[in-house]
Amino acid sequence: MSEWPELDAFLTTDPADVGCDEAMRILHVYVELVARGDDAGARYPGVASHLRQCGPCGEDFEGLLALVADPPIESAATRLRKKIRGRR
């Protein structure tokens, strides 16, 4: 190991890592599997490996999972539209 942790991380990258482009292409599917409690890492091991290694992609995963697991509060405009249409 060297004095440069980023270089060390790069040199020890899992060869199964699919990279940012592929991980982002199917991130929504991966997130849905995790949210349902399925073993997404077993189905997409390359994506799981990438999300462990890549900070920005891991943050995208965490953010999307948070939205799926706890949807944001309905906006005032959406509530108003529903009331106007007679749906509550």
Q: How confident is the model at residue 75 (pLDDT cuts 50, 70, 90)?
A: low
- Predicted pLDDT of residue 19: 93
Angle (CA) 21 46 9, round 5°: 85
What pLDDT, in 10s, does the model give residues 36-67? 999 999 999 999 999 998 999 999 999 999 88
Whole-number Å distance between alpha carbons of 77 and 79: 5
Determine the structural domain holding residue 75 and report its residue range.
5-85
Give the chain's domain count. Answer: 1
